[in-house]
Structure 1
Amino acid sequence: MNSTMLLTLDLNDPRPLHEQVAAAIRRAIGAGDVAPGDRLPPARDLAQALGVNANTVLRSLRDLRDEGLLEFRRGRGVSVLRRPDGREVLRARARELLDEAAEYGVSADEVVALIKDISEEMA
């Protein structure tokens, strides 16, 4: 995997940067862009690619370690320990959707109604 890991941050996202970085890495792991056993690029490289401070990336990596997704090994860097549960990924994305909806003045109930409408259209 290269240092960009296909990660992007939304400059309009109101969440703290470390949460955005963690969510982007979590999505990359969930999507299979990186697999269990793969090593992540050094935090400095990720920080440079994302245009954020290395401490921000380190905080994100620690959060993901605490979730059990990453493993820190002295002298070997940070490796993916496991893929997140699909529900974990969807929960995080739902949270992001609700945050974005709130920015547009759309309530959670309205989002649920939109999802139901779309689901019925797809059925």
Structure 2
Amino acid sequence: MLFTVDPGSSSPLFEQLAASIRGAILSGRVAVNERLPAARDLAVALDINIHTVLRAYQELRDEGFIELRRGRGAVVTDRARDYSALARDIDTIVAEAKRLELTPGAVSAMIREAW
């Protein structure tokens, strides 16, 4: 599994890591019921603090992408499969927004309004 973070980015590392893992799940590079690396191992591999990894894992747990199981670590949930269709729809929306030359802020505002 290849997850990345950019220490030079203005985005917090835990958000970058959560986005990287989320993307891997949605693209199918990480499968349902697959175990993610142990937080300590991932922290060492990415040269970041273990608490950064744990915070990313907690965010993904709160979103329903993973379960944190004592003794088994972080495991991708069945529910994550349901997000794949939404991800495809979002790709379609982004492509259409780019075609219409809308800004990300405008698209976000439209989504918030619909919500």
Q: Give the TM-score normalised by the residue count of structure 1.
A: 0.66
Encode CA deviations 1:6-39: one digit per residue, 9 max, x unaligned: 1112233211111001001101111111111111
Gaps of 5+ in 1: 95-111, 119-123
Residue type matched to 1:116 in 2?
R
**Preserved contact between residue 7 and residue 13 of structure 2 (Cα < 8 Å):** no
CA distance in 2, matches of 1:88, 1:49: 28
Structure 1 residue 88 displacement after superposition: 5.2
Residue number among 8, 19, 24 corresponding to 1:23 in the alignment:
19
**Preserved contact between residue 43 and residue 54 of structure 1 (Cα < 8 Å):** yes
SS at match of 1:71: strand
Matches within 5 A, 1:100-111: none
- Does residue 31 of structure 2 align to residue 48 of structure 1? no
**Preserved contact between residue 6 and residue 13 of structure 2 (Cα < 8 Å):** no
Number of matched pairs: 93
Gaps of 5+ in 2: 102-115
Residue type matched to 1:6 in 2?
L
- Does residue 49 of structure 2 align to residue 66 of structure 1? no
Q: Give the TM-score normalised by the residue count of structure 2.
A: 0.70
- Identity %, equivalent residues: 48
Residue type matched to 1:83 in 2?
R
Q: Which runs of 4+ in 1 moved over 6 A?
A: none
Alignment match, 1:6? 2
Alignment root-mean-square deviation, CA: 2.3
